[in-house]
Amino acid sequence: MSMITLRALSALLHYPDENLRGAVPDIRAVLLPERIVSEKQMLRLEPLLFRLSGGDLIALQEHYVELFDRGRTHSLHLFEYVHGESRDRGQAMVDLRERYVAAGLDPATNELPDYLPLFLEYCSTLPRDEALAELAEPGTIIATLAERLESRGTDYAGLLGVLRDLSGDQSVPAEAMIPVDDPDDLEALDAAWEEEEITFGAMAPAAPDSAPSCPQTQAMLSRMLDPLHVIQPARSQ
């Protein structure tokens, strides 16, 4: 049985739009029955769920972009923390995507394979023990991101805190983390984010989609709300 809980948590990490707002009641409904998230952990998710369901959506969207898209301190791309701009990151991307395909998940999106919500969706397709073992691999990265978000006082800290609890094992040594040195001005920030293009077959990566209407989020929510959904094997090229 796949872990719908991880799919729901993945959805919460996507760019907040009307689709996500409308799905909050369903997200609540799928988190409790599986008993992966405790009642205490649900309380840590409540500030974000409350803000998603009834807060100022535009303000939340601006907060999301500032938090996750305008710098590397809180990047949702896992390999930013261990590979930075090195060529090792490219091979790690290829290896991770092959893992997705082997599991029957076709990551046909514009996101890079190390995008945390995509990784969580992959984990959600696995049996519980395997899913938690996979989630443990980037445990230190998740813990580091949770700590940084807590220092910012953002509602997303509760979500990453829950993921930190679920990841358990921390297999990446803390000393291996890439130091963060985010530039202050936008021009320097743009220059810092220029990367060598990495392609996977016919798929070319693009910057994270922060448009108000996000098809990835819609597809994710559709799969999450259908517990019997089976991800189709990747189409042959």
Q: Are 178 and 148 in contact (CB under 8 A)?
A: no
**The overall pTM is greater than 0.85:** no
Phi, psi for 53 (deg, rounded to 5): -80, -25
**Where do the domains of the chain lie, and which CATH numbers do they carry?**
4-224 (1.10.3480)
Q: Strand, helix or coil at 200?
A: strand
pLDDT in tens, 188-210: 444 443 443 333 333 333 334 44
Burial 149-183 (b: 16+ CB within 10 A, else e): beeeebbbbbbbbbbbbbbeebebeeeeeeeeeee
CA separation, residue 173 to residues 76, 81, 192, 193, 202 (Å) = 19, 11, 25, 25, 34
Q: Would residue 154 be called left, alpha or beta, if left means φ above 0 and alpha means ψ between -120 and 50 degrees?
A: beta
> Which residues have a Cβ under 8 Å from the Cβ of 75 and sit 6 or more positions away?
68, 81, 145
Q: Are 21 and 57 in contact (CB under 8 A)?
A: yes
Q: What is the pLDDT along the chain (237 residues), one digit of tens a residue?
A: 458 999 999 999 999 999 999 999 999 999 988 888 999 999 999 999 999 998 899 999 999 999 999 888 899 999 887 755 656 677 888 889 999 999 888 876 678 899 999 999 999 999 999 999 999 999 999 999 999 999 999 999 999 999 999 998 554 445 544 445 544 444 444 444 344 333 333 333 333 444 444 555 555 555 555 543 433 333 333
- The count of residues in the chain is 237
Q: Which two tokens stand for residue 46?
A: 């409540």
Question: Please, what's the largest Cα pairwise distance for the chain?
Answer: 47
